[in-house]
Amino acid sequence: MTWKRWAEGRPEIIIDPFLVENSSNEIVKLIQIGLLCVQENATKRPTMSSVMVWLGSENITIALPRAPAFTMIKSPSEDCTMSMSNVFTELSSR
């Protein structure tokens, strides 16, 4: 769900409304960093030193994450299912 909201340009939807009022830009930055840290290809994940710099800086450009290989989605008939559509999309684009 996080990736879907990020890709739609609406990451604030997954943030508690109380937190959005206080520091939505900071929370969106944390979501972006988190998505970068779970990239399928380990070479695309940031180093801890990069993460520390990003967390400590206010005006810094952070790379945009790519779609993760696996996402959890809810369907009406099941609680959670693993979606591999992103895996096939990623593999076919290589």
Specify if 83 maps to a domain: no
pTM of the model: 0.64
Specify if 32 maps to a domain: yes
Specify if 93 maps to a domain: no
Parent domain of 8: 2-66
Specify if 73 maps to a domain: no
Question: Nearest-CA neighbor of 1 among 24, 33, 26, 35?
Answer: 35
Specify if 94 maps to a domain: no
Specify if 12 maps to a domain: yes
Specify if 78 maps to a domain: no
Tens-place pLDDT, residues 3-37: 787 788 877 777 777 776 666 788 888 889 998 99
Is pLDDT of 72 > 50?
yes
Specify if 42 maps to a domain: yes
Q: Hey, which residues does 83 pair with through a beta bridge?
A: 71
Per the CB < 8 A criterion, the answer to whether 71 and 3 are in contact is: yes
Q: With bands split at pLDDT 50, 70 and 90, how would you rate the model's confidence at 88? A: very low
Per the CB < 8 A criterion, the answer to whether 74 and 87 are in contact is: no
The total of structural domains in the chain comes to 1
